[in-house]
Structure 1
């Protein structure tokens, strides 16, 4: 178990025995001693007993939890129980560890499926949180890894009251080659950086992927040689891509509406760049902005009532972020001066990730910067995890493209390198929440 200590000063008041013997009726002056001593403090919030009979999921669960503020350990535990019933008579031993939560469980096979029964125990109270949990998975490594992420989500939610963000996936662009030899791949990986797969590949450039709310589709734009950028919608689990903007001009930066029925994007096929709305399957095009400046990079608010976007209305080389309200058509400035672009909402609509000059940053809905991520080396902002407790962004380190997942509340941050240049990572919503 991971322990750390901190010092306290212990003040001890000792009566002088000599004084008491000499003058038993008088109060002796106390002798004050200050002693340094070490108090052990348990950092781990979760004791995790690997599931009996499992060889895949337990490692995934432990890894996920250790990248949150909870921290978990599976070493040095006093016992290897599979359920709360096996703690009879030993609960005080677990309480003495100082770890507030215990996760136990086991796996079994039923009709070709792997069934996992697990329990999250409040150690101090000696009770289960929401009773026994059960999850079914196909009997293959990929399905079982995903089940591990789902279980980690549930454990995190039971303890914190906040849905976990492990079962969402991250889409990103990987570029190799230059000029006419450039190849771009749209890839998807698990939220722990593993299990990366190529969804589509083009000779040219892919830009600005955006997930549908159900995590089944990704919209993105493609730029091929001697062509305009144009938007496609791709099924993540197979099948061809649908071309939804067959217009004579640039279409870029798609964003799905919260119900998945619409897409807003930036288009320049009627002159300067403006924001348009279109059905997610194409058709029913509607122009939303009509300024003479360039409006780009729209991002739907989670409630669907508005969206934010970047505009160079104030100065050609200094974009700022504005908000468009659907009901009234009212447009108001959000950012507070300076270069601000690539806005993306958090899932609860209270924060906006964006590019502040050369630095990735996060602001609140009133434009006040609340977190500065720093210069990533790319002109891109950040994308939030489903629960808003982490962000993902691309950078370049040592000539390699890197995807960084950064905790915003004390959890561990980590990076995943790839081939060539990495761009525009974006986190899908959790399909299980």
Structure 2
């Protein structure tokens, strides 16, 4: 497991949005022992809260702080209205033992130990949160994942742009590329080893692919005109892009190592922002007069319109199973993030952000959360909203154009 130091960053600002009472009550008791700057239990609780499916009990309200199973007073936790209780112990270089209990059944439902280097406490905390999420909901968690995004500073001749990555909660930021020319639209490869993005370093837009762990950068699209909006195929062997080399911007596909571009759309108007899922390729098109989201097969062909609510729908993002879709939806001059969960009966679009200029949504691999950028004054902030709309959190890092990685492989 890769070690990552805990950056000293401000505490995230969390807004609780209606319906939060439906979340599952869980008590994440402070773990005994220490793990340097990172509070393992606090990171776990924040992760679970962010998903919108859990509501962690404030530490000050806990009736007791058990360290071992024998210390738990289940009656006290039942009276406190908790469904689950998580306890743990930190020791050694970094060994974390944790146990999850069902309060009503008074039984342990999960218990493991994880070890790693001393500076990887946040990694272990995210992994434990994923384990709890899977055990309780039956679906994999998305906490031990990463976000790629663009940061910028200065103006005019002093402007600087950076391609950066961070943990999904905004901590452990690392810059991969920096330029005095614009960078935009990062996209992860399925295995998390590479990022495709757009660079204007040469003076014109180019699509590049960079290794996340350093070394190796490849230009895969530098055609005349627009080279934009890269997105890896499900197996990572190809990259979808928007190119204008033959006229209006259309969706093309190129081998992940470069080569010729195969055109997939040929309608009048602008086709851009491809988003890949198991049920095809979603993209933005104004072929009907206004930007709306359409879907076609992975190899092109006829496209069907997906969005009908709102004057403007763009920047589609889709969970890997195609069940959760997010778009930037514009109505009456305001642009907010709307989400549809197709698994829900009578699925409909649900607005989950509250800014006036929210854009560039990206969906967590399991569909539980959506990250996006929001204009705040002269800058851009990164936010995460639960897909069910119950929670909205401003991440402790600035940036725009976020892209969510796939699930990382857990350590043994």
Structure 2 gap ranges (5+):
1-20
Instruction: Say whether residues 1:192 and 2:175 are aligned partners.
Output: no
Instruction: Say whether residues 1:101 and 2:84 are aligned partners.
Output: yes
Instruction: Say whether residues 1:253 and 2:225 are aligned partners.
Output: no
Find the residue that maps to 2:223 and give its secondary structure: coil
Instruction: Say whether residues 1:307 and 2:281 are aligned partners.
Output: yes
- For 1:364 and 1:114, the matched residues in 2 are separated by 39
Pick aligned residue for 2:121 from 144, 149, 153: 144
Task: Look up the match of 1:228.
Answer: 204
What is the total number of aligned residue pairs between the two structures? 378
TM-score by length of 2: 0.82
How well do the aligned residues superpose, as a CA RMSD in angstroms? 2.9
Find the residue that maps to 2:54 and give its secondary structure: coil
Kindly state the Cα deviation for residue 368 of structure 1 after the two structures are TM-superposed: 7.8
Task: Look up the match of 2:56.
Answer: 72
Query: Which range moves more in the overlay, 118-127 or 191-200?
Result: 191-200
Cα deviation 1:59-109 (Å, max 9, x = unaligned):
31233233344222334544443332444xx44444443322111121333
Cα deviation 1:85-141 (Å, max 9, x = unaligned):
444xx44444443322111121333xxx522111101121121114x212222121x
Q: How does 1:243-322 map to 2 (within 5 A)?
A: 243-301=219-277, 303=278, 305-315=279-289, 318-322=290-294
Find the residue that maps to 1:107 and give its secondary structure: strand
Kindly state the Cα deviation for residue 333 of structure 1 after the two structures are TM-superposed: 2.1
Whether contact under 8 Å (1:231, 1:244) holds in the other structure is yes
Task: Look up the match of 2:307.
Answer: 335
Find the residue that maps to 2:113 and give its secondary structure: strand
Q: Between Structure 1 and Structure 2, whose CA radius of gyration is higher?
A: 1
- For 1:374 and 1:155, the matched residues in 2 are separated by 27
Whether contact under 8 Å (1:350, 1:365) holds in the other structure is yes
Pick aligned residue for 1:423 from 380, 388, 400: 400
The structure-2 alpha-carbon separation of the partners of 1:48 and 1:378, relative to structure 1 and needing over 3 Å to count, comes to closer
Pick aligned residue for 2:137 from 160, 176, 182: 160
TM-score by length of 1: 0.79
Relative contact order higher in (CA < 8 Å, ≥ 6 apart)? 2
Kindly state the Cα deviation for residue 299 of structure 1 after the two structures are TM-superposed: 1.0
Task: Look up the match of 1:48.
Answer: 28
Pick aligned residue for 2:365 from 381, 386, 411: 386
Task: Look up the match of 1:372.
Answer: 351
Task: Look up the match of 1:8.
Answer: none
Instruction: Say whether residues 1:202 and 2:215 are aligned partners.
Output: no
The structure-2 alpha-carbon separation of the partners of 1:47 and 1:369, relative to structure 1 and needing over 3 Å to count, comes to closer
Find the residue that maps to 2:381 and give its secondary structure: strand
Pick aligned residue for 1:396 from 370, 375, 393: 375
Find the residue that maps to 1:238 and give its secondary structure: coil
Whether contact under 8 Å (1:382, 1:392) holds in the other structure is yes
Whether contact under 8 Å (2:353, 2:392) holds in the other structure is no
Find the residue that maps to 1:329 and give its secondary structure: strand
Cα deviation 1:40-68 (Å, max 9, x = unaligned):
x9997122222222333223123323334
- For 2:228 and 2:340, the matched residues in 1 are separated by 24
Whether contact under 8 Å (2:147, 2:168) holds in the other structure is yes
- For 2:172 and 2:264, the matched residues in 1 are separated by 39
Structure 1 gap ranges (5+):
1-40
Find the residue that maps to 1:158 and give its secondary structure: helix
- For 1:328 and 1:240, the matched residues in 2 are separated by 30
Task: Look up the match of 1:6.
Answer: none
Whether contact under 8 Å (1:312, 1:319) holds in the other structure is yes
Kindly state the Cα deviation for residue 429 of structure 1 after the two structures are TM-superposed: 2.1
Query: Which range moves more in the overlay, 365-374 or 198-207?
Result: 365-374
